[in-house]
Structure 1
Amino acid sequence: MTDTSMVWFAAETGRNDQETAFLEGLRQRATTWHVDGLSPQDTSSQRWLAPLYVDVQVPKVTIPRRTLQIAYWTGGPYGQALHGVWGDDYLMDDHDGNDPEDLTVVGIQATAGQYAAWAADWLVRQLERPVVRHEWLRGGRVAATMWCLQDTGRVLGKTGISPRRLLRRPADRLVAIR
């Protein structure tokens, strides 16, 4: 029996040869990643959906359920396609094909291995991006936070009491997360 705690994107095999090759290619690429705090246990795969879905829990980003999500289609309305997004509890609902930060590959005939390479390259680029937490204080305590990608300012999540009111002014403190 294989120890799945050491397998990247464990739990699933593909439903067809393309999905199997995609997962194998993605797993092989993931073994070369050198991201502080990232381990195989931070990745998962699910095939109960169409498309094949994989995700990565981003190290040190502790806002509720903010993951990197990938969807790979081998057929359907787009034909062979690949989408990637900083997601939440709802799988792939934040994907916007017009957003340059999201991964969108549609209408290109390529091997499943090439699609895995595109997915792995996008994932590692996202994992290397700096994340900063903006903190608003009230009475010396953190009252609200906003997590952002430092390079573009994309908001990954907000928490706290009355964040909308506090967010109107600059943050009291910026904390580099990764």
Structure 2
Amino acid sequence: MFPDLTRDDVFRLETRRLWLRWPCAADAAAIVDLAGDRAVSEMTARIPHPLDRSTVDGFVVKARWTNTEGRSLVMAIAPRGRPQSLIGIVSIEPDPGAAGPHLGYWLGAPHWGRGLGTEAVGALVEAYFAYTPGQTLTSAARVENAASRRVLQKCGFARTDGVIGVRPRFG
């Protein structure tokens, strides 16, 4: 799905305030802290609570492996001025049962409400359509997660046939 350009752990995406980079072992403690927060995990479909270190270590290894193979693109979200300080994750992964690959994301609660999720999601969506031949991208948000639904809407996603999806804005 993803080209050679993204398959090397030096691949980065920069936005005005963020640096998106491959997750690494040094991020595990921040992931446990931030994603393991009940307020965060309850707003996602896949993050368990409590979240343990061995689950996170496995996630990091799998993310790096699927990134290397080009099957997925899982990126750590970090402030541009502190690129080693993970504040969330944004990813695009295959979803065999959907119209296209699935975009997922989470942001640590201390970083909510500042548009950082929209900035990170927007950057990865643009990269997906710029670097791959993909024509459709899907995502989902829990009904009670209005903030996440707004992020998706701001990034061009629209509800279609019960699925939230986006088509490229160019190409």
Report the TM-score, using the length of structure 1 for normalisation.
0.30
Report the TM-score, using the length of structure 2 for normalisation.
0.31
From the two aligned structures, give the one with the greater strand fraction: 1
